[in-house]
Amino acid sequence: MKYTRINEKHWDEWAGNNCVWTVPISHQEFIAAKNGEIDIYLTPLKPVPKNWYLPVKNKKVLGLASGGGQQCPVFVANGAEVTVFDISSKQLESDKFVAEREGYNISLIKGDMTHEFPFEDESFDLIVHPVSNSYIKDILHVWKECYRILKHGGQLLSGFANPTIYLYGKNKDEYKLSYRMPFDPLNDLSNNELKKLSDTDGVQFGHSFSEQLAGQVDAGFVLTGFYEDYHPINNEINFYDTYIGEVASYLTKYMPIYFVTKSLKN
């Protein structure tokens, strides 16, 4: 089975178990979003600065791997025309649920971002991309496709994981540096290790900072904003993040675990 199908299956299951990234916003939160009182999160703890994305009235926004009914309804509440592109049917159902409950239209497209995006050149003013490129091998393809479909002057907001969390194995109760960066489980793990990882966390890749940052620049973007975030110390998101979440929860005492960039297409 292709690794993206494994990840699709996991996100459908995690959505069914109400993991923190799959619970749609409430009606009260949607109303609050209309009044500018609700933040969006691309990483667990720190909200995206509102001046990074507001105002969005009449702007075309793409939620890239951003299903779940959390970020995208906030953009709709602020007057944007929103499209959600996600591999998980269950995550898209959450956005459909909010749209039907609140009575608005939204475009929902199921697809695999490892392929060419199903959009014309220069289609969007803003792309919002929560931490998710750890589930695909070639992120340079994603940066190129984002650049292609953004309008000139458009922006990409992207969260990503610190690759350090993928470098540790566990020996009894101790963490041990076991893998190299960038981490590619398809090549770096034995079949048994890969099956164990994919059964609990999905197939995840630890991308280097060159891939994450220089990759955006090489695609044509100009980086205009950056911040760091941490993982919950008690691993509150363990509904879907098991071993890797455990490592992240341990390492967050010593270093930031997530990063968010704002990038501009000139």
Determine whether 208 is exposed, middle or buried from the number of CB atoms within 10 Å of its CB (0-12, 13-18, 19+): middle
What is the pLDDT averaged over residues 2-10?
Answer: 95
Residue with tokens 């984002």: 146
Give the pLDDT of residue 180.
Answer: 94
Give the pLDDT of residue 172.
Answer: 77
Give the pLDDT of residue 236.
Answer: 55
Residue 145 has pLDDT above 90, yes or no: yes
For the entire predicted model, the pTM comes to 0.95
Across all residues in the chain, what is the average pLDDT?
94
Measured distance CA(12)–CA(22) in Å, rounded: 9
pLDDT in tens, 18-76: 888 899 999 999 999 999 999 999 999 999 999 999 999 999 999 999 999 999 999 99
Measured distance CA(136)–CA(146) in Å, rounded: 15
What is the pLDDT averaged over residues 204-227?
Answer: 98
